[in-house]
Structure 1
Amino acid sequence: MNHMKKNILFDGLRSVARIGETAFVAARAGIKYATEKPSNAKLMRETFESLGSTYIKLGQFIASTPSLFPREYVEEFQGCLDQTPTLPFSYIQEVLAEEFEGRDLNQIFASIDETPLASASIAQVHAARLTTGEDVVIKVQKPGVETILYTDLNVVHWATKMLEKAIPKVKFASLSEIVEEIKIRMVREVDFIEEAQNLDDFVEYLKITNNQAATAPKVYHQFSTRRILTMERLYGVSLTDFDIVKKFAKDPSQVLITAMNTWFGSLMLCKSFHADLHAGNLMLLEDGRIGFIDFGIVGQLNPQVWTACLAFMDALQKTDYTAMAENMLKMGMTKTQIDTQVLAQDLERLFSGVLLADPQEILASKPSDLNDIMLDMVAVGERHGIKFPRDFALLFKQMLYFDRFMRVLAPYTDIYADQRLKMVQTIEPQSLLKH
């Protein structure tokens, strides 16, 4: 009981300290605005980065939700990277001792590397070895993250309520609903049991589809809790260095196609899809398989929405604006009756300037161009009362990541025209029976 009281007291003090810190950083930003006059979006990004974990996540949410935030903010927050200073190992030991209370750590881990493999706003990752001999990585939640998260989100929630009272027009943007949405997502991200389930789900999907070209770490559930995730350690290299990839694979473009096919399949066949497959989370293993790691951020997409996305891209290549409008309706949610012909005309106005002579060029554009196209498309949809699913933006963000991989691994290939790429996948009924 004393231990519990002490924790509650610590959490309370942490909350008070956090509110003070937030007020100080906000005041400093106010002074900077008055003296240097930076753009609002830039100042907001810098302030969010100073405030750490919760606000960095909020920044990433803004960057991946163009249907809710102004374009300049979406673009500015693209650079909001989740890199934070590493914590001393003594803090990590403290969390391990708390989570495995009553168990002897020496009977679980033969050794733990004190130098972290990675450090982000919510957790730090350390390499370790189990007493049974397996190499693992331990993802350990940083101390106080949950308290800071709840304190920050309550401050943000209170601020949005005040803003809605002060400026009634803001109500239309349903700011407090957005904060509620962020709260749900971020609370899920600090629950490693949920991340372990995402991993299990993906591994099961690989089994069902008999996909032996990709893998994800096995979870050691008996050594995992809400704040600690113990997983098999995969050894490999990042997909962003062509020369290194070439050492492990004869055809780097095949590596990318395997990764994309695996991911596209998960859109149709998994409960959720990996929504953060940047260079750090996709690796080429020494045995040539593709390793998918870090399932903290996932999205959920109705398979029909993905089918409509593909049909939309197909119609775009054929410059069939009516089919584009019809599929745009299938991708989004609408409360009102929509005239597809008027929407088709709007799309034609939007894309005729972009496409000019060759619609194929759209898929070979730079990531920033693709982002612009998506923002324009969402804006056109909004004008017609089409509300895109929240995870539509996560889907598009992932397409931008793939675009970056393409520039490294297949710079002279039109991957989307490649016969090896399978953007829609289904399971053979007999393979389902086996499992």
Structure 2
Amino acid sequence: MAFLPDIHSIVKRNISLTEMGVRSSLRLTLTMAKMTPYAIRWGIKRKLPPAHEVRELFEALGATYIKFGQFIASSPSIFPKEYVEEFEQLLDQTTPIAFRTIKKIISEDLKQPINRVFSHIDQQPLASASIAQVHAAILVTGESVVVKVQKPGVQAIITADLNTVYVLVRVLEFMLPNTDRDALAGIVSEMYQAMIDECDFIKEAEHIKVFRNFLESLSINTVVAPKVYDRASGLHVLTMERFYGCALTDKSASEKSQGDPTKALFEALNVWFASLINCEVFHADLHSGNMMLFEDGRVGFIDFGMVGRVSPETWQAVFSLFKGLNEQDYALVADAMLAVGMTRKNIDKQQLSRDIEYVFLSMNTLDNEDLMANDGLNVSPAVNDVINTLAEVARNHGICFPRSFTLLLKQFLYFDRYIQILDPDANLFDDERINLNF
């Protein structure tokens, strides 16, 4: 199966075969014990399991399955609306682990006493999620930083859990005999890859460096990404420059910054557009909490745990989709969906256009307050609702979107609303401040 890890990846993550075998046996036993009652009940009914029961099972199974659930919550183009909405509950901040454990992980990962690297680390975390938690700190050389620390055993547990994913896939195939098995395996593979990428701190550090190189190559100084401190980073620890500022869309931002928030937003938008073509990766989660407005008017992009890669065709399809929406040209929107989507049957484009028109009329009900209700971990339900409905229309017409399309679509929705908040008279598609010549 495509989603099973190879030996190279296991060795790279510093997990011994013996440890993997022991953990796999224990995890398989535990998982099967917890999953069996659900599987029997669902198997008898022979239909798609209730979303709340699947969410309860995933919570009981721990970090790996919580990440699977978070993937489901952020992938409305793939999964049914009720599942996406139910699994949004797994996006909340988790209970932090003890600070003494954090110190032990840092010391072991950096292979030296913690006081040789940091002069101070705040005991209270800035954030805590299923894979890692973040602490503010000061290096012995005086720089203010944030330290992202991976929770103990996460990678080994994820690797071991893959041995049960195969069983889970087979159970789902039994309950849903008409399921496309290649498609199901592909979904699991994509889920696993997204999850393992997020807990690969070396890869996240590389993404940050790639984005910083992109900014430098185009002499961009209006947007910045944090510096990575390699000497204070390792397999399970990622130390980055700490940014100070406020959320770009903060209503009081203009009082906290010498710069113009509206100008900063358009500059950030132009940089993000440029990264779609000129950078290996683009930031795929620029909600309001991940764009910080500095006192000098610059914008900081933070948290590169979720990035995307996009082909020129996908990027053009997303832009055409929003252009069609702006011009109320729903045939153009339908063309964009068909250009990027994968389908196995003939499409009634006129009916698709009518269905899309109905979907996007609902966008007028999006309140800015609902959209911006984001604590840095949660995705706005209002944004997901629009994407869920669009994805449902696509599925009804036999269209399946690649996940990169959904990531781009969600980010466009965010930027469109940011503009409405800071400059209600502006238009995302015909404003002279937007530069698409890159």
Instruction: State whether TM-score is above 0.5.
Output: yes
Tell me how far 1:354 sits from its aligned partner. 5.2
The count of residues paired between Structure 1 and Structure 2 equals: 408
**Which residue number corresponds to residue 203 of structure 1?**
212
Partner Cα separation in structure 2 for residue 280 and residue 301 of structure 1: 23
Partner Cα separation in structure 1 for residue 436 and residue 89 of structure 2: 31
**Which residue number corresponds to residue 431 of structure 2?**
419
**Secondary structure class of the residue paired with 1:84:** coil
| 1:117-138 CA distance string (max 9 Å, x none) | 2211111212222222222222
Contact 1:316–1:324 (CA under 8 A) maintained in structure 2: yes
1:324 aligns with 2:333: yes
Moved more, 269-278 or 158-167: 158-167
Contact 2:118–2:137 (CA under 8 A) maintained in structure 1: yes
**Which residue number corresponds to residue 409 of structure 2?**
396
Contact 2:318–2:409 (CA under 8 A) maintained in structure 1: no
Contact 1:141–1:228 (CA under 8 A) maintained in structure 2: yes
Q: How does 1:84-163 map to 2 (within 5 A)?
A: 84-101=94-111, 103-163=112-172
**Secondary structure class of the residue paired with 1:258:** helix
Tell me how far 1:321 sits from its aligned partner. 4.5
Distance change (3 Å), C-alpha of 1:50 and 1:399 = farther
Q: How does 1:200-279 map to 2 (within 5 A)?
A: 200-249=209-258, 251-279=260-288
Partner Cα separation in structure 2 for residue 401 and residue 395 of structure 1: 10
Contact 1:198–1:272 (CA under 8 A) maintained in structure 2: yes
Contact 1:415–1:421 (CA under 8 A) maintained in structure 2: no
Moved more, 177-186 or 190-199: 177-186
Partner Cα separation in structure 2 for residue 404 and residue 52 of structure 1: 35
Partner Cα separation in structure 2 for residue 171 and residue 335 of structure 1: 12
Partner Cα separation in structure 1 for residue 435 and residue 61 of structure 2: 40
**Which residue number corresponds to residue 375 of structure 2?**
none
1:393 counterpart letter in structure 2:
T
Contact 1:246–1:252 (CA under 8 A) maintained in structure 2: no
Tell me how far 1:142 sits from its aligned partner. 0.8
1:410 counterpart letter in structure 2:
L
2:197 counterpart letter in structure 1:
R
| 1:304-323 CA distance string (max 9 Å, x none) | 21122212322333344444
Distance change (3 Å), C-alpha of 1:22 and 1:266 = farther
1:301 aligns with 2:310: yes
Match for 1:58 among 68, 71, 89? 68
**Secondary structure class of the residue paired with 1:116:** coil
1:350 counterpart letter in structure 2:
D
Partner Cα separation in structure 2 for residue 331 and residue 9 of structure 1: 43
| 1:149-185 CA distance string (max 9 Å, x none) | 2233432331112331454213458323211221122
**Secondary structure class of the residue paired with 2:255:** helix
Tell me how far 1:405 sits from its aligned partner. 4.2
1:41 counterpart letter in structure 2:
A
1:313 counterpart letter in structure 2:
F
Distance change (3 Å), C-alpha of 1:425 and 1:270 = farther
Distance change (3 Å), C-alpha of 1:87 and 1:369 = closer
| 1:214-240 CA distance string (max 9 Å, x none) | 111111223322211121111122335
Contact 1:136–1:232 (CA under 8 A) maintained in structure 2: yes
**Secondary structure class of the residue paired with 1:396:** helix
Distance change (3 Å), C-alpha of 1:29 and 1:92 = farther
1:410 aligns with 2:398: no
- Normalised to the residue count of structure 1, the TM-score between the two structures is 0.80
Match for 2:351 among 327, 336, 346? 346
Partner Cα separation in structure 1 for residue 95 and residue 298 of structure 2: 31
Contact 1:236–1:286 (CA under 8 A) maintained in structure 2: yes
Partner Cα separation in structure 1 for residue 40 and residue 248 of structure 2: 41
Moved more, 47-56 or 361-370: 361-370
Distance change (3 Å), C-alpha of 1:297 and 1:411 = same
Distance change (3 Å), C-alpha of 1:23 and 1:414 = farther
Tell me how far 1:373 sits from its aligned partner. 4.7
Gaps of 5+ in 1: 32-38, 427-435
**Which residue number corresponds to residue 429 of structure 1?**
none
Question: Which has the higher relative contact order, 1 or 2, with Cα contacts under 8 A spaced 6 or more apart?
Answer: 2
Tell me how far 1:15 sits from its aligned partner. 6.5
Moved more, 213-222 or 243-252: 243-252
Tell me how far 1:43 sits from its aligned partner. 3.9
Match for 1:292 among 295, 301, 307? 301
Partner Cα separation in structure 2 for residue 194 and residue 406 of structure 1: 32
Contact 2:145–2:242 (CA under 8 A) maintained in structure 1: yes
Partner Cα separation in structure 2 for residue 397 and residue 22 of structure 1: 36
Partner Cα separation in structure 1 for residue 94 and residue 36 of structure 2: 20
Moved more, 134-143 or 150-159: 150-159
Identity %: 43
Distance change (3 Å), C-alpha of 1:351 and 1:384 = closer
Contact 1:139–1:229 (CA under 8 A) maintained in structure 2: yes
**Secondary structure class of the residue paired with 2:431:** coil
Contact 2:276–2:310 (CA under 8 A) maintained in structure 1: yes
**Which residue number corresponds to residue 184 of structure 1?**
193
Distance change (3 Å), C-alpha of 1:108 and 1:264 = same
